[in-house]
């Protein structure tokens, strides 16, 4: 049994590591408090009105990024629908520690954007490869020569031409709309990157409005809702431009022919707000559910920068509120708590309470503020899962989980995925039907389940 679970008081000794854990947890809990968000929004609106500023939205576009291409297609509709001033910037995209898998991310974004485009009524170029460096340079030169209105008008067309390696189309667009020099293009990218960092972000396909970030088509509905509440919607009551697709659980039911694999992590806020919904989706649709836990990315050697961590937590909180999921009272489970929980997971599964155990741990760490780095905290989790704490103590520290986790991680990476939660939908013969990353894609998984069942029943 790990030594820290033997402490007499039921809580970890307040050593420097424990103090850091406590401070981080307090900071994150306060950061995502709904009262804080409402206070900041009210303050921002008061300042905007006092200064006589328009509803200014800044958009950061990354050529060659699938999500940027989808977002660019909606910029014109946003300008028509909402009383906004749009300012467009070119950016280079994430780098360094903000880009843990530089080889995998562009390919995943390509595949993922192509999957979701038709679901949002958008288009994506039918291209087998990513845009070449020369095509990206040419597209950047074209966009660098545009003001924000021109950018909004032609960005999607330029992107499509770059994806399709259509040199003729790029040349025609250059003749019609102008093209920046190499130096001007470099200066435009540098200015966009600088502005992005100064506002507190690192990625393309981002929209910024009065202190908050909105990631492409997946988060546009949050921005639309906020603009509507501020009276900036020219068509109040009409459907949003990019409404969040619902998770569908019917009408067709499976008889066990499909398997839904989920790869969760016990330190992932996105896992925390989607794990129970994943279990419920499987239950209500009748598909087999295979839960395959992996270590958090930080514990796999992939650092998370402060700027990225802050965005992830604030974004998760916003998603949780929209889904009516409890979230925000946080006590960081990184390190030994995660390892100890995973050592208990095979035992919990053997007792028929594996999903309940993971759910209880995630709820304790992300919604109840329970210190799982303590004997008392882990006992709380075990009991909340309907398991016996006395029996659990004999299983703490069992290393059998390590081989299971390694196999899960390799399977996940083999499908071009690395973050959590990730999902794979498998057919009767374990053929991969769908592989996607993120709680954002649970609705897509649900739709694919219905499509597969419809094919079988046809």
SS in 3 state form for 68-111?
A: HHHHHCCHHHHHHHECCEEEEEECCCCCHHHCCCCCHHHHHHHH
pLDDT in tens, 95-150: 988 888 888 899 999 999 999 999 999 999 988 889 999 999 999 999 999 999 99
pLDDT at 12: 43
- Is the model's pLDDT at 9 over the cut of 60? no
Per the CB < 8 A criterion, the answer to whether 270 and 438 are in contact is: yes
pLDDT at 101: 86
Longest dimension (CA), the chain: 76
Q: How far apart are CA 277 and CA 274, in angstroms?
A: 5
Q: What is the mean pLDDT of the chain?
A: 94
pLDDT at 14: 59
Q: How far apart are CA 93 and CA 95, in angstroms?
A: 7
The pTM of the full predicted model, rounded to 2 decimals, is: 0.94
- Is the model's pLDDT at 5 over the cut of 70? no
pLDDT at 456: 81
Q: What is the mean pLDDT of residues 23-50?
A: 96
Q: Euclidean distance between the first and final Cα of the chain, in Å?
A: 54
pLDDT at 50: 98
Q: How many CB atoms lie within 10 A of CB 433?
A: 15
Q: How far apart are CA 217 and CA 67, in angstroms?
A: 8
* pLDDT band with cut points at 50, 70 and 90 for residue 18: confident
pLDDT at 10: 41
Q: What is the mean pLDDT of residues 235-263?
A: 95
* pLDDT band with cut points at 50, 70 and 90 for residue 7: very low
Non-local (6+) Cβ contacts of 338 within 8 A are 265, 266, 267, 295, 296, 299
Q: Which two tokens stand for residue 321?
A: 């509120």
Phi and psi at 404, nearest 5°, equal -65, -45
CA atoms within 13 A on the CB side of 280: 11
Alpha-carbon separation of residue 236 from 40, 143, 229, 320 (angstroms)? 24, 33, 9, 25
Q: Which domains does the chain have, with CATH numbers?
A: 34-229 (3.40.30.10), 259-457 (3.40.30.10)
- Is the model's pLDDT at 292 over the cut of 80? yes
Per the CB < 8 A criterion, the answer to whether 275 and 421 are in contact is: yes
Q: What is the mean pLDDT of residues 205-219?
A: 98
């Amino acid at each position: 049994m790990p030594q820290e679970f033997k402490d007499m008081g039921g809580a970890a000794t307040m050593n420097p590591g424990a103090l850091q854990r406590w401070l981080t947890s307090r900071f994150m809990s306060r950061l995502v408090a709904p009262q804080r968000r409402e206070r900041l929004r009210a303050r921002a609106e008061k300042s905007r009105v006092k200064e006589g500023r328009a509803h200014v939205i800044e958009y950061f576009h990354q050529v060659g990024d699938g999500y940027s291409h989808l977002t660019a297609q909606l910029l014109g509709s946003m300008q028509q629908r909402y009383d906004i001033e749009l300012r467009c910037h070119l950016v280079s995209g994430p780098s360094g520690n903000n880009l843990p898998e530089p080889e995998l991310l562009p390919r995943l974004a390509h595949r993922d954007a192509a999957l979701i485009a038709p679901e949002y009524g958008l288009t994506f170029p039918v291209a087998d490869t990513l845009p070449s460096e020369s095509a990206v340079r040419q597209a950047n030169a074209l966009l660098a020569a545009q003001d924000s209105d021109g950018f909004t008008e032609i960005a999607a067309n330029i992107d499509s031409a770059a994806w399709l390696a259509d040199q003729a189309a790029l040349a025609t667009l250059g003749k019609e709309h102008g093209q920046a020099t190499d130096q001007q293009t470099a200066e435009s990218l540098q200015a966009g990157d600088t502005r992005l960092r100064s506002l507190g972000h690192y990625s393309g396909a981002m929209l910024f409005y009065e202190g908050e970030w909105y990631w492409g088509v997946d988060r546009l509905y949050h921005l639309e809702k906020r603009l509507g509440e501020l009276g900036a919607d020219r068509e109040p009551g009409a459907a949003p431009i990019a409404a969040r697709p619902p998770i569908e659980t019917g009408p067709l039911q499976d008889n066990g022919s499909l398997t839904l694999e989920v790869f969760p992590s016990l330190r992932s806020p996105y896992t925390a707000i989607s794990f129970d919904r994943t279990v419920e989706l499987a239950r209500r649709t009748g598909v087999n559910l295979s839960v395959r836990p992996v270590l958090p990315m930080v514990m796999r050697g992939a650092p998370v920068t402060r700027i990225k961590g802050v965005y992830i937590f604030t974004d998760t909180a916003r998603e949780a509120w929209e889904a009516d999921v409890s979230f925000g009272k946080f006590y960081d489970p990184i390190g030994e708590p995660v390892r100890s929980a995973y050592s208990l997971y095979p035992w919990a599964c053997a007792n028929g309470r594996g999903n309940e155990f993971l759910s209880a741990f995630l709820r304790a760490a992300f919604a109840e503020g329970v210190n799982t780095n303590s004997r008392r905290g882990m006992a709380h989790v075990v009991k909340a899962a309907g398991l016996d704490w006395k029996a659990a103590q004999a299983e703490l520290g069992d290393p059998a989980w390590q081989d299971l986790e390694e196999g899960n991680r390799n399977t996940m990476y083999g499908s071009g995925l690395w973050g959590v939660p990730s999902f794979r939908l498998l057919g009767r013969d374990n053929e991969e039907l769908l592989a996607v990353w993120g709680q954002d894609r649970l609705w897509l998984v649900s739709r694919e389940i219905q499509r597969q069942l419809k094919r079988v029943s046809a």
